[in-house]
Amino acid sequence: MSEKVLHAGAADFDATVLQSSEPVLVDFWAPWCGPCKAIGPIVEQLADQYDGRAKVVKVDVQEHPALGVRFNIRSIPMLMMFKDGQIHSTQLGAPPNIKTLLTQMIDKAI
């Protein structure tokens, strides 16, 4: 696992994500979710690729259900790009071109 990927929960989400000076890609996932596991390595690659320009944070919605409720997560994987404390863009699911889609999300936010 990439050391660049941060993990956030209910206690530190606002400080880690909403108050970040950099755009933040948040991966809402759960350990039992197959598509979430499939895109995990891609999310880690992006954390390394954008280090210093954007943050990548993973939120386990099984461990932190209040965050899932707060952001209306009804299906996972759900990836949200936050900029200046607001949701900038979202990507639901894990289509075959997920790396391209996520790269475009991050590029538009930075």
Instruction: Look up 36 and say whether it is catalytic.
Output: yes
Structure token pair of residue 26: 């948040």
Q: Which of 24, 33, 47, 79 is an active site residue?
A: 33
Q: Please give the single-letter amino acid code of residue 70.
A: R
Q: 36, 63 in Cβ contact below 8 A?
A: no
The C-alpha angle with vertex 34 and arms to 28 and 36, in degrees rounded to 5, equals 25
Between the CA atoms of 70, 63, 73 and 4, what dihedral angle is there, to the nearest 10 degrees?
Answer: 100
> In the block, which residue shows the tokens 């990927």?
5
Instruction: Look up 33 and say whether it is catalytic.
Output: yes
Instruction: Give the three-class secondary structure for 13.
Output: helix
Q: Please give the single-letter amino acid code of residue 18.
A: L
Q: Which of 6, 17, 24, 36 is an active site residue?
A: 36
Catalytic residues: 33, 36
